[in-house]
Amino acid sequence: SNKSETLPDAKVNHYSALKKALPKNVNMMTLTNNYAKFHDGLVLMRFAHTYGVDEHPTLSQPATISLKDIFADGVEIVSAKEMSLTGNQPVANLERKERSEWTVVPLNKNVEDQMKDHSSFTEKIPFDADTMVVTLRPMEIRTFLCKLEIEQSIESQIAVVYS
């Protein structure tokens, strides 16, 4: 065959379900429908903050995302419920008053100063199910069960298989 022969341009179908890139310090770790048949068709989504405290001057700060703004046109999260890390129960079940309280005693003045410096990262910022805004603290992972609405024209372009 003739090496100078060119091949015709191949048709490549491309589709990205994301509206825009997530912040540089946030990863979508999980998007699965593996548990859909146990949760009325809901998909499990898990997000992780990828930096630790003081690892980077700006990327170590808490990051806020809106679940409403994750997907491109044609795919929409219409509701979300925060779940435990494993996705087996609502976070609200874990936030009972009878949970153990830990008393932390700093080993020395340096540790005490570090604890004071990072106190803003100790309080979890609650998920707002109405606005679907979530804030991730450094090294935090948060899990959600989400109801998706997918336009029929888009459904054929993405793999959503309920088995």
Q: Check residue 115 and give its pLDDT.
A: 75
DSSP-assigned letters across all residues of the chain: --TTPPPPPPP------BSSPPPTTEEEEEEE-TTGGGTTTPEEEEEEE---TTSSTTTTS-EEEEGGGSBPTTEEEEEEEEE-TTSSSBHHHH--TTSPPPP---SSHHHHHHHHHTGGGTSPPPPBTTTTEEEE-TT-EEEEEEEEEE-HHHHTTS-----
pLDDT digits (tens, 9 = 90+) for 118-158: 665 667 889 999 999 999 999 999 999 999 988 877 766 66
Q: Structure tokens of 98?
A: 């009878």
68 phi/psi in degrees, rounded to 5: -65, -25
- Rounded distance, CA 113 to CA 107, Å? 11
Positions of the chain with pLDDT lower than 50, given as ranges? 160-163
Q: Check residue 121 and give its pLDDT.
A: 61
Q: Check residue 162 and give its pLDDT.
A: 43
Q: Check residue 99 and give its pLDDT.
A: 62
